[in-house]
Amino acid sequence: MSRLFSARRLWAMLVKEVIHLRRDRVTFAMMLGIPLMQLILFGFAINTDPKRLPAAIVATGSDRYVRAMVTALENTGYYRFIRVAESEREAEALIDSGKVSFVVTFPTDFSRRVERGERPALLIDADATDPSVASGAISTLSTVAGNALRRELGPKAEVDPPVEIVVHRRYNPEGATQNNIVPGLLGVILQMTMTLMTAMALTREIERGTMEGLLSTPANALEIMLGKILPYLLIGAVQVVVVLAVARTVFDVPFVGSLRLLVGGILIFVVALVLLGYTISTFSRTQMQAMQLTFFFFLPSILLSGFAFPFRGMPLWAQWLGELLPLTHFLRVVRAVMLKGANVAAIADELAALAVFAVLYATLALLRFRRTLD
């Protein structure tokens, strides 16, 4: 070398790297896409104080005191009454399935007792599986309800406050954060490992040069796909056993539902994940690209599924995007079964959504693999 440093050689190296970046479109897209995604999601979609939470009413009548209470609760911004339940059983089914976060029950003699100044009790059933969702709405109850009735009663108000608020924090009365986080971690761990390992399975064959030998075998696209994904189902089963054992013995997370139902939901979810990973591998030429595409899918799943932030606190467009993610539906399944003791009917919609994802990913993977054969 004639000189220790050459601007010409440096320029040649820079041109070479720019050409490589231009050819590697996946990496270039990740460099721009991930920062933009983080800015949009954290700036617009994330909200730790959810408002307009769905609620139901159980009331035999709709006199001015009931209407005043309902209007006052809605005016706080936390409650959005979407259903008037005909019975307590119907209200129980609504909160068990997660369709409502609160059930407000007015006693049959509520108005009479208010008129007599007897301070009747108003029962609020709150879904406390996620403590951060219920805390803000519950903290406003006593003041808002008391003020609403005082305005209606006027000078006739004999007691202060004129109503007693009884709150039942359902499914997680202690408000333990681990009861919400640890079951969710089961879905996050499975998604991270199952999708990533399966995504790298096919690209590893391409990088090592063994793909030609695999394609020369009599195995068809379906057989190759099953051969690639079935071993990872066993790994997923081991992870499930470990996570559930640690959740019960270390974190003391309650398990009040059916283990068989939970295992069935986990199986559908894991099948969807390995099929998703296999689909990603058909879009990737290297293991690095497979990792990048997996991470591009993993980030919105964490932020929009309801694992890290309250799902109902997000704007409507973010909730629509969250519904397109398998993790969103699995979190509802695992939390409903473990904490609520939900039955098949309560989580049927979520199980059906996971099954649809599995069929969709399998179809796309087979179509993409046949294209690769050409």
pLDDT for the residue 293: 84
Mean pLDDT over residues 214-233, rounded?
75
The owner of tokens 């959504």 is 353
Cα separation values, 133 from 126, 240, 254, Å: 10, 27, 19
Q: pLDDT band for 373, please (50, 70, 90 cuts).
A: very low
Q: Is the peptide bond before 161 cis (omega within 30 degrees of 0)?
A: yes
Q: pLDDT band for 151, please (50, 70, 90 cuts).
A: confident
Q: pLDDT band for 155, please (50, 70, 90 cuts).
A: low
Q: In whole angstroms, what is the distance from residue 127 CA to residue 140 CA?
A: 16
Q: Which of 118, 151, 170 is the last residue of a domain?
A: 170
Cα separation values, 61 from 57, 108, 188, 285, 335, Å: 11, 8, 45, 65, 34
* Structure tokens, 43: 């700036």
pLDDT for the residue 284: 79
Tell whether the model's pLDDT for residue 122 goes beyond 80. Answer: yes
Residue-wise pLDDT for 263-321, tens only, equals 999 999 999 998 898 888 888 778 888 888 888 888 889 989 989 888 888 888 999 99
Tell whether the model's pLDDT for residue 223 goes beyond 50. Answer: yes
Q: In whole angstroms, what is the distance from residue 170 CA to residue 365 CA?
A: 42
Residue-wise pLDDT for 310-335, tens only, equals 888 888 899 999 999 999 999 999 99
128 & 237 share domain: no
Nearest to 335 by CA among 276, 265, 267: 265
Mean of pLDDT over the chain: 83
296 & 188 share domain: yes
Domain hosting 193: range is 178-373
DSSP 56: E
Helices (H), the chain: 7-23, 25-40, 64-75, 88-97, 110-115, 131-139, 141-153, 178-208, 211-215, 221-249, 259-282, 287-304, 316-323, 326-335, 348-373
Express as a percent the part of the chain with pLDDT over 70. 90
Tell whether the model's pLDDT for residue 214 goes beyond 80. Answer: no
Inter-residue contact 326 to 357 (CB < 8 Å) = yes
363 & 214 share domain: yes
Q: pLDDT band for 35, please (50, 70, 90 cuts).
A: confident
* Structure tokens, 224: 């190759």
Q: Which helix (H) or strand (E) holds 170?
A: strand 164-170
Q: Is residue 166 part of a domain?
A: yes
DSSP 163: S
Q: In whole angstroms, what is the distance from residue 258 CA to residue 338 CA?
A: 8
* Lowest mean pLDDT segment, chosen from 19-33, 62-76, 187-201: 19-33
112 & 195 share domain: no
Q: Is residue 3 part of a domain?
A: no
**Count of domains forming the chain:** 2
Nearest to 142 by CA among 66, 67, 69: 69
Q: Which of 148, 170, 192 is the last residue of a domain?
A: 170
Tell whether the model's pLDDT for residue 24 goes beyond 70. Answer: no
The owner of tokens 């333990």 is 176
pLDDT for the residue 2: 52
pLDDT for the residue 38: 72
294 & 191 share domain: yes
Residue-wise pLDDT for 4-15, tens only, equals 777 787 788 888
Q: Is 57 helix (H, G, I), strand (E, B) or coil?
A: strand
192 & 68 share domain: no
Model confidence, pTM: 0.83
* Lowest mean pLDDT segment, chosen from 90-99, 133-142, 181-190, 255-264: 133-142
Q: Is residue 18 part of a domain?
A: no
Q: Which helix (H) or strand (E) holds 1?
A: none
345 & 210 share domain: yes
157 & 195 share domain: no
- CATH number of the domain at 98, please: 3.40.1710.10
